[in-house]
Structure 1
């Protein structure tokens, strides 16, 4: 079998970090047609390795690189600029960073033009790759009109048009709703069957991917490989190290690990695997993990008949809601349902076309901006949208300095937040040099340092490893328990189950549900799937166990 990737003794060091390596003594091989999960904690160098494999480094590297990388038997350094893209295709976390044209058809054609494909051959190639990702009917559509899942599929189509032998997916479903995530994974599975290309999948959330790739390459926080092999064996033999490094496990596997004092059997990697061979949890009484609401106070934030249009296209349609003090609210729905737009209107960042928002009975428009920001903290979906300083420390200290606090108090507050968010060692780094997961933690840190009583967070946990996720959610839970009102946009059904006291569901810009999490899970699956939602893994497992008990009872 031919070898697609060979990496020998790879070391990489950035100029900004002269005292340590981002990647250290990295060695691995990947054969033609093989699939690999590349796993590790946030900031361990997974995306950096991608830039080495696609030839971006060392050409654009501010630092040093040592070792050898071969793609299809040829050193990456021997490829001409741009040539390696025909062998290695990368789909990044945010597909919009890869687009440069206005329509679906033109975007796919752009890459083909760059490699000199004759115009008479383009039409067939474009149709072929759009058919592979189920987007033929959107060929003439504007990219701006696509949903998040459709944009991810378009990015995939653009790469497939170049017919690479290696496809690298860098957290391709990080910003997608549960049903769109399933759809993208199924699309990639279909592509793999049709093309037999090699795959490297970089992910934190493993659900849906384990059947596509059984081999995993595990990196630690020092950018070193500590395991290369089967995922089941890694869980069986390296569990303590996986947990220490904050590497996510499949959610169903973690569910049973949390509830079993002794592991006496092979744990399932998927819910489907468990359903084929369910087993009871002896000696463990299942409890409802959903948050019990604290005593909520008076009306706090009130949205009245909110509408918002863009170029006469309705985005938000007649939403009226009241948020009460001391709630932990999840705002959920499909990609493109209006969640981010609505949250920005609530925060006073965006004005509605019609309707009003009041805080403490006072309309947002009448608040002085500085006082409004002391009341509401907002964490953007894209962390870079809120960075303005040249170091992590100064980014967090910025708002405190605006309030004229002393440097002594500022230092104490900033260092506390840095440690809480796992950024203490990065305090002197520029925000833009951080990994995506680290940027997300910094964006949260800049908001929580001010202790605003109302926090609005847009996907605060995407791109986080298990340890960072637990730290962030623990921090938000403590803020909630101390009296803050939390409103969080998320696609993570487990977070909703474990933390939310109330769930607001948006669908096509309208409010379609406002209820407790336990009530949401009891709705018909057809309705949840229509809204692009899925049951949390623990609810799926519990439902399966209940069916088994009912079946056994009826049989006896």
Structure 2
């Protein structure tokens, strides 16, 4: 029997990158019903490879592609346009790029109509697909009313309805809250056991996926395969190369590798593996109490903020004071109102009711240019803020508006591009970057202006391990210099290691406002009700305590 997928010496480069291949000499096979993780640093060509597998490239490619790709023994170039989608289903990194209808129901039905599914069974198939991703209650909703995480679930439902032979998930949990991520992974596990569908997962956050994958394909920064085999063998035999390339490892693996004196003959890839061979974790450096508020200077005072959209209450009576120099994490379930609150605090959208003061002055009284000099905002979707044709010009734009000397502009822009690992892309169009690179560019455009406050909506989305560390160090350095940071995130590790204060939203209301350590002390049932989970390190420390109590009581 032919393998489901065969890739033979694939290379690809884009028209605007003639001197560098995005993918180089990539070869691998995927068998029927096999599961594979594709891992690599941001910008190494993982998503580009997806476009090759589903036939979008070379048909829509502005560049050159060579080598061969076979699906069920047939070259992808011999398929008719759209034909491959019946065998290969892709949930893209940005789900909005694959929607074409107005409502949830119509979007799922669209693909079924294209393959001529009879109308008498279509409703049942639509309902079943939405049920699998816990979106059935949104069946009549408009797509524009959904949160980012809900859109990700809808994109998955659209693919599942078609019952493909291969399902490709491109960072499927990037926009999901912790509990929704677990639910999605559990759903994929169940689907894998119930169907003969092969699976390719492109992910940076590996927790939950390791047990599902039969193999791992690792790409380096030059778009070359440098490993093909089990993740266990890769960690045991080539850890230095993995770390040098910035490939994420499971969080429990990261913590264990940071331990001094931890036995290196066995490195756990899952929490269960750690529990099966418990070792003491040194908590120094991980549980230090961060500097709490050291000033009574209120930077933003939001009072009784409410906001409704299409007759739906998004925010309800939110009051919040943000003090100068804080590092605040705003967390909560998908659709809880985090992005809406941040946009209102930044003056990008107006509340339905309530008042906001920035540095003691009513927000509505601020001149727009003066407000932007005080408050910077990084959008959840980076493309929403790009306005120029090159990466360099994007970062330089605000400096040119302020009529900085060209020498100063060049020095500042080159410096921030180097820090954000974007120097080699300075002449590229922002839209040609990978999602992770776009995110770093969006952060760079705000960091260059030295505002007194930065609001960042999911700043680490799509980042590899090295980029994530460098980006958070950049934010931490700015915070240490007095910049007030407000970060929206689903990453509990960021909350634990960087935030001085955490604000939890649930159904549009503030339900907790405390330090991270105080939040982790709340009951698991309450955290789960808010769609939150404990950071992995806290889970490991709690397991140590439980093991201690069991041993001393026996």
With the length of structure 1 as denominator, give the TM-score of the two structures: 0.96
Residues 149 and 184 in structure 1, CA contact (< 8 A), matched pair in contact too? no
Q: What is the rounded CA distance, in whole Å, between the counterparts of 2:75 and 2:214 in structure 1?
A: 27
Residue equivalent to 1:299: 298
Shift of 1:309: 1.3
Shift of 1:305: 1.2
Residues 332 and 506 in structure 1, CA contact (< 8 A), matched pair in contact too? yes
Residue equivalent to 1:453: 452
Task: Tell me if 1:53 matches 2:48.
Answer: no
Describe the SS at the equivalent of 1:211: helix
User: Where does 1:107-506 land on structure 2 (aligned, <5 Å)?
Assistant: 107-281=107-281, 288-289=287-288, 291-293=290-292, 295-506=294-505
The verdict on how the C-alpha distance between 1:12 and 1:303 changes in structure 2, with shifts beyond 3 A counting, is: same
Q: What is the rounded CA distance, in whole Å, between the counterparts of 2:57 and 2:139 in structure 1?
A: 34
Describe the SS at the equivalent of 1:308: strand
Q: What is the rounded CA distance, in whole Å, between the counterparts of 2:147 and 2:51 in structure 1?
A: 27
Describe the SS at the equivalent of 1:260: coil
Describe the SS at the equivalent of 2:100: coil
User: Where does 1:20-59 land on structure 2 (aligned, <5 Å)?
Assistant: 20-59=20-59
Residue equivalent to 2:19: 19
Q: What is the rounded CA distance, in whole Å, between the counterparts of 1:126 and 1:293 in structure 2?
A: 50
Residues 390 and 427 in structure 2, CA contact (< 8 A), matched pair in contact too? yes
Q: What is the root-mean-square deviation in Å for CA atoms of aligned residues?
A: 1.7
Describe the SS at the equivalent of 1:300: strand
Q: What is the rounded CA distance, in whole Å, between the counterparts of 1:547 and 1:56 in structure 2?
A: 52
Shift of 1:137: 4.9
Q: How many equivalent residue pairs?
A: 554
Q: What is the rounded CA distance, in whole Å, between the counterparts of 1:132 and 1:301 in structure 2?
A: 41
The verdict on how the C-alpha distance between 1:67 and 1:445 changes in structure 2, with shifts beyond 3 A counting, is: same
Task: Tell me if 1:78 matches 2:78.
Answer: yes
Q: What is the rounded CA distance, in whole Å, between the counterparts of 1:223 and 1:123 in structure 2?
A: 42
Shift of 1:191: 1.1
Residues 290 and 517 in structure 1, CA contact (< 8 A), matched pair in contact too? no
Residue equivalent to 2:91: 91
Q: What is the rounded CA distance, in whole Å, between the counterparts of 1:372 and 1:124 in structure 2?
A: 51
Shift of 1:118: 3.1
Q: What is the rounded CA distance, in whole Å, between the counterparts of 1:110 and 1:445 in structure 2?
A: 39
Q: What is the rounded CA distance, in whole Å, between the counterparts of 1:548 and 1:516 in structure 2?
A: 26
Residues 290 and 499 in structure 1, CA contact (< 8 A), matched pair in contact too? no
Shift of 1:492: 0.3
Shift of 1:548: 1.3
The verdict on how the C-alpha distance between 1:499 and 1:134 changes in structure 2, with shifts beyond 3 A counting, is: closer
Residue equivalent to 2:551: 552
With the length of structure 2 as denominator, give the TM-score of the two structures: 0.97
Q: What is the rounded CA distance, in whole Å, between the counterparts of 2:303 and 2:134 in structure 1?
A: 39
Describe the SS at the equivalent of 1:3: coil
Q: What is the rounded CA distance, in whole Å, between the counterparts of 1:421 and 1:455 in structure 2?
A: 17
Residues 93 and 173 in structure 1, CA contact (< 8 A), matched pair in contact too? no
Q: What is the rounded CA distance, in whole Å, between the counterparts of 2:552 and 2:35 in structure 1?
A: 43
Describe the SS at the equivalent of 1:9: strand
Describe the SS at the equivalent of 1:514: strand
Unaligned runs of 5+ in 2: none
Describe the SS at the equivalent of 2:213: coil
Describe the SS at the equivalent of 2:395: helix
Shift of 1:369: 0.9
Shift of 1:101: 2.0
Q: What is the rounded CA distance, in whole Å, between the counterparts of 2:510 and 2:128 in structure 1?
A: 38
Deviations 1:421-468 (A, max 9, x none): 111111000000000000000000000001001111000001000011
Deviations 1:344-390 (A, max 9, x none): 11111111111111111001111111111110011000000100011
Shift of 1:238: 1.2
Q: What is the rounded CA distance, in whole Å, between the counterparts of 1:388 and 1:407 in structure 2?
A: 20
User: Which segment is superposed worse, 105-114 or 85-94?
Assistant: 105-114
Shift of 1:100: 1.9
Describe the SS at the equivalent of 1:111: helix
